[in-house]
Structure 1
Amino acid sequence: MDTPTTVVNVGTDLLAAAVEAQAAAVTRVDWRPPMPGTEDDLVAVATDPLRADANVRALTAMLEVQATLVDVAPASEVLGLERGQFLHAGPPIGWDRAAGPLRGALMGGAALEGLVDDPEDAVALFESGSSVSLEPCHHRGTVGPMAGVVTPSMWMWVLEDQRTGRRTFCSLNEGLGKVLRYGAYSPEVLTRLRWMGDVLGPLLQRAVRATTESQGPVDVTGILTQMLQMGDEAHNRNRAGTLMLLRDLSPAMVAAGDPADVAEALRFVGGNDHFFLNLAMPACKLALDAARGIEGSTMVVAMARNGTDFGIQVAGTGEEWFTGPAQLADGLYLGDFGPDDANPDIGDSAITETAGIGGFAMATAPAIVRFVGGSVPDALATTRRMHEITLGENPRWSVPVLEFQGTPTGIDVARVCRTGILPQINTGMAGKVAGVGQVGAGLVTPPAEIFPAALARLAELARARG
C-alpha cells in the first residue's frame, strides 16, 4: 500500500501530531460538533429559502451606512426624555434586579437631575418606582457605555446616515476611574457631569454646527477607518480616534467659545483617550440598525449587557431579546482590586464587536493586551477566529498585519451554534458595589445559551413559513 503524502486531520490534534512525527504533511481542520440540542434547528435554518438572500441584504445594508456627526444636544431634546425617565445599557431590567454599578449610576443620575439632594436618598425613589421609569438605551436609538445611564439633562452626540436620514445617539464620555458609567456618584463625579452639561456640551454643539456649516459633517465612519490603521480597535483603545476628532473640531471650538472654557475642554478631551468611544458606539449602532427587521436573516444586530443579563437581538427576529447571565471578565485589575471586587459584564459598548471592531479587531491594536490582558499572538488569533462566525468582511475596516484583510463582520447565530465559537469582547470592569467605579479591564464572551435560544426562534419562524 502506498504511503499517503498528505493527511487531513479533523478535530483533535493527537493524530496530527503523531503523523507529523513521522515526517508526513498534515492539514489541520478545526472542527467542533455543534452546540448541544441545536442540530434540528440548524437544519431548519439552513434550509430556509429566505436565509441566504436575507443575510446578504443584512450585511450589505450594514456596510452601506456612512455615519456622520451632525449635532450635540440634550437628551430631553433629541430623545424626548422627561423628568424621572432614565435610560440604561443592556436588555430591559428593573431596580430589583439591577447590579451595583447600574444602581450607583441611577442614584447619581437622580441627584444630577435634582430628584434627590443626596444620591443615597435615590434608593427609596427607585424602590417605589412611582415617579421614575427605566428603559434600555437601544429602545430609543441610543447606546450607553457600561451602566449606560442617560438622564434628560445629559448632552448627546447625534449621528446621522445622510443617505437615509436615520439617527443614533450617545452621551459624552466622562473618562476613566470614578465616573458615573462605572457606578460612581461621589461629589466629584456630579461636579464633572454638571460642567459637561453647562460648558462642554454647549461648546461642542457650537463647534459641531459651525464645522458642519463650513466644511460638512465630521465623517465618523471615515475616522474609524483611519484609526484602525493607527493602532486603535475602537472599543478599549481610541487614542488616535480622539486625536482626529480634536483635529476636526478644535478650530471651531476655539472660534466659538470663551478662551478659558475652550482651554479646559481641550485639556479634558486631550486627557481622555476614551473620548471617541462614545462616537464609535453610535456609529456601529447606526450601521447595524440598517439590518433590523430583515425576515430570515440570522445576523446579530445588537449585543448588550446591563450587569445582570447579557442580551442579543437578531435581524430576523424583530425587537426580541435573547438573554442569559452576564459573565465575569478575565483581565487585569487596578491597584488592589481583584476578581472578588468586579461586577459581571456591563454596557452597550459590545455594539463595537457586533459591528466587527473592538475585540474582533484586536489584531489592529496589539498594544490593547497591555490594558485587557492576553498576548499579541492571542490578539492576532482572536481576529482570525472571529472570521469563522461572521458572514463577511468590512472592506472599510482592514487589518494591516493580516495583509489588510477586512475585519470579521456580521455575527451569524447559525455559525456560532455550529462551531461553538463565541464572540470575543474586550471590556472595562466596574466594581460590583455601587459607588466604587472602575476596577479593571479584560476579555469576556457572552453566555453560550443565548445563541441556541435565538436559533430556536429563527427555526420556529422558518418552519412557520413552510
Structure 2
Amino acid sequence: MTLLSGPPHVITVGAGLLQESLDAQAVPTTAVAWRPPLPGTADALARVLADPRLPAANERAVGRLTSARPQLVGVRRASEVLGLPDLMFLHAGPPIDWERASGPMRGALIGAMLLEEYARDVPSAEQLLASGQVRLEPCHRHATVGPMAGVVSPSMWMLEVLDTEHGGTAYCSLNEGLGKVLRYGAYGPEVLERLHWMDRVLGPVLSAAIELSGPIDLRALIAQALQMGDELHNRNRAATSLLLRELAPWVVEAAAGSAAEVLRFVNGNDHFFLNAAMAAGKVSTDAARNVPGSSMVVAMARNGTDFGVQVSGLGDRWFTGPAGVPDGLYLGAYGPADANPDIGDSTITETSGLGGFAMAASPAIVRFVGGEVADAVAATRSMYEITLAEHPAYQIPGLGFRGTPVGIDLTLVARTGVLPVVNTGIAGRVAGTGQVGAGLVKPPVEAFTSALMALADGVD
C-alpha cells in the first residue's frame, strides 16, 4: 500500500501535455521518449528483426563504412574515367527520364547539351532530349555523385577518391561556385563560359597539382574541418581553406601562369570542398554495400522529383517517394513558391555521418539554413536514435568529442518514426533560375517503409 502513502512519481509516455501539467504542479516525473512505429510496418519490422543474420550483417556494414579511408588521388576527365559515350549524361538521384524531370534537372541537361555541342541552341537541345535519343543514368550507378542536378558530361573534370582501406573508387565533378550555375539548372552564356574555363584551365591545373602533391587524406581533413565549425554539406569554409592550403604550393609549381586565377577561384568558393566530401562519402558508403541481411542505408539521393534510398542488403534497388520542398531561408525576393522539390546526391554526406547529422559541430550553419543553434544540436542528437554507430574519426567538440551518428538503420527508423535530418540548398523550380535558398527537408516516409518491406520479403 506504499503507492498511496507517499508522494506520487509519475512516468509519462507519449504526448507532452500530461508532463507539462505535472511539472507545473511540482510533481516528480520520469519522461519516456517513445514514439509509435511507422504505420503499417509492424509485420515487416518483426520479420527483419527476427532475421538471425541482422546483428552481424549490420556490424559488418557499419564497420566497413567507418573504417574507410578516402584519399583524393586525382582529377581526371569524365570521358577518361567514366567512359561516357556521346549523347549520354549522368544525373543525381534515382533513375528519371526527360518527361518526369524537374525544371532544374531539365536546365542542367540543356546546359550539358550546349556544353558538349550536341545541340546548337536551347530549342534543338530540348527537342533532342525529348526524343529519347539521349541516354540518362544515375550517377550512383557509375560510382559517382553529383550535387543538385548532378549532371555529368564527358568534358567535365572529376575528383577521383580512393578508399585505401577497402580499395573502392568514387568520383564527383568540380564545384562551379554559387549563383547561376549548371547544377542549379542555369545554362546561360556565363554558365557555359565558366565550364569551358574549368575544362581548359581549372581541371588540368588541379590534375597536375595532385600528381605533384600525392594523395590528400580526406578523412583527416574532414575530421579537422568538423572541429573548425563545418558540417561538410552546407558549410565547407574550413574544409575548403584546408584543401587550399594543401594544394596551393603545388598549383604554383604545376602552372605558374594560371596559378593566380585557379587559387582565386577556389578561394572565392566556400563550397569548393563539398564535392570532395561527397566523393569521400560515396566511397565510404559503397564499402558497406551488398552485405546480405543488412538493414543499413548506403545511399540517399534526390533527382528533383523523387527521393530514393538504397540499402546494403538489397543491392542496387531504389526505393522512392516524392521529394519534398525544403523549409528554410530564401535569397532576395525568392520564396517557397519559387522552390523546386529537393534535388541532388549531396545527401551522401548525411548517409556517411556528416551534413545534417553533424550540425551540432556547426553552430553557424543556422545562419544559412534557418533555426537556432539549439535546433542544430537537437538535430544531431536525434540522429543517434536511428544510427548503428558513432564515427571514430568524425567527432563533435560541442558534444564532448562524441563521434557523429553514422549508419542509418531501417529498423530503427521504423521503430522510432524518426526520419534522417537533411540540410540542403534550394533550387529554383524554373529552369535557368539557379539557387533560391537553403534549408532543411524531410525525406518521404514511403522510401524507408518500402525498403523495409523488401528486406522483410528476403528473410527466409
TM-score, normalised relative to structure 2 = 0.98
Please point out which of 400, 404, 409 is paired with 2:406: 409
Equivalent positions of 1:46-57 (< 5 A) are 46-57=49-60
Equivalent positions of 1:274-423 (< 5 A) are 274-423=271-420
Matched, 1:76 2:74: no
Contact 2:67 2:165 survives alignment (8 Å): no
Please point out which of 404, 419, 424 is paired with 1:427: 424
- Residue 344 of structure 1 aligns to a residue whose secondary structure is coil
Match of 2:21 in 1: 18
Please point out which of 225, 228, 231 is paired with 2:229: 231
Please point out which of 38, 59, 80 is paired with 1:35: 38
Partner deviation per Cα, 1:232-254 (whole Å, 9 max, x = no partner) = 00000000000110111110100
For residue 246 of structure 1, what is the amino acid of its counterpart?
A: L
Partner deviation per Cα, 1:15-72 (whole Å, 9 max, x = no partner) = 2223323323322122111111111111101111000110000000101100001110
Please point out which of 444, 447, 452 is paired with 1:450: 447
Matched, 1:184 2:193: no
Percent of pairs with identical residues? 60
Alpha-carbon separation, structure 2, partners of 1:25 and 1:286: 49
Alpha-carbon separation, structure 2, partners of 1:154 and 1:139: 18
How much has 1:194 moved relative to structure 2? Answer: 0.3
Alpha-carbon separation, structure 1, partners of 2:121 and 2:360: 45
Cα-Cα RMSD:
1.0
Equivalent positions of 1:117-266 (< 5 A) are 117-130=120-133, 132-212=134-214, 217-259=215-257, 261-266=258-263
How much has 1:84 moved relative to structure 2? Answer: 1.1
Residue correspondences, number: 457
Contact 1:160 1:167 survives alignment (8 Å): yes
How much has 1:129 moved relative to structure 2? Answer: 1.9
For residue 239 of structure 2, what is the amino acid of its counterpart?
A: G
- Residue 38 of structure 2 aligns to a residue whose secondary structure is coil
- Residue 146 of structure 1 aligns to a residue whose secondary structure is coil
Instruction: Indicate how the Cα distance of structure 1 residues 258 and 118 shifts in structure 2: closer, same or farther if over 3 A, else same.
Output: farther
Partner deviation per Cα, 1:270-296 (whole Å, 9 max, x = no partner) = 000000000000101111001110011
- Residue 291 of structure 1 aligns to a residue whose secondary structure is coil
- Residue 449 of structure 1 aligns to a residue whose secondary structure is helix
How much has 1:4 moved relative to structure 2? Answer: 4.8
Gaps of 5+ in 1: none
For residue 201 of structure 1, what is the amino acid of its counterpart?
A: G
- Residue 441 of structure 1 aligns to a residue whose secondary structure is strand
How much has 1:166 moved relative to structure 2? Answer: 1.2
Alpha-carbon separation, structure 2, partners of 1:320 and 1:432: 28
Alpha-carbon separation, structure 1, partners of 2:305 and 2:165: 37
For residue 254 of structure 1, what is the amino acid of its counterpart?
A: V
How much has 1:161 moved relative to structure 2? Answer: 1.1
How much has 1:86 moved relative to structure 2? Answer: 0.1
Gaps of 5+ in 2: none
Alpha-carbon separation, structure 2, partners of 1:233 and 1:4: 47
Contact 1:87 1:136 survives alignment (8 Å): yes
- Residue 349 of structure 2 aligns to a residue whose secondary structure is helix
Contact 2:168 2:286 survives alignment (8 Å): no
How much has 1:358 moved relative to structure 2? Answer: 0.2
- Residue 445 of structure 2 aligns to a residue whose secondary structure is coil
Alpha-carbon separation, structure 1, partners of 2:368 and 2:20: 35
Alpha-carbon separation, structure 2, partners of 1:282 and 1:271: 21
Partner deviation per Cα, 1:141-198 (whole Å, 9 max, x = no partner) = 0000000000001000000012332100000000111000000000000000000000
Contact 1:392 1:409 survives alignment (8 Å): yes
How much has 1:117 moved relative to structure 2? Answer: 2.0
Contact 1:107 1:120 survives alignment (8 Å): no
TM-score, normalised relative to structure 1 = 0.97
How much has 1:449 moved relative to structure 2? Answer: 1.2
How much has 1:12 moved relative to structure 2? Answer: 1.4
For residue 450 of structure 1, what is the amino acid of its counterpart?
A: A
Alpha-carbon separation, structure 1, partners of 2:9 and 2:245: 55
Matched, 1:114 2:117: yes
How much has 1:323 moved relative to structure 2? Answer: 0.5
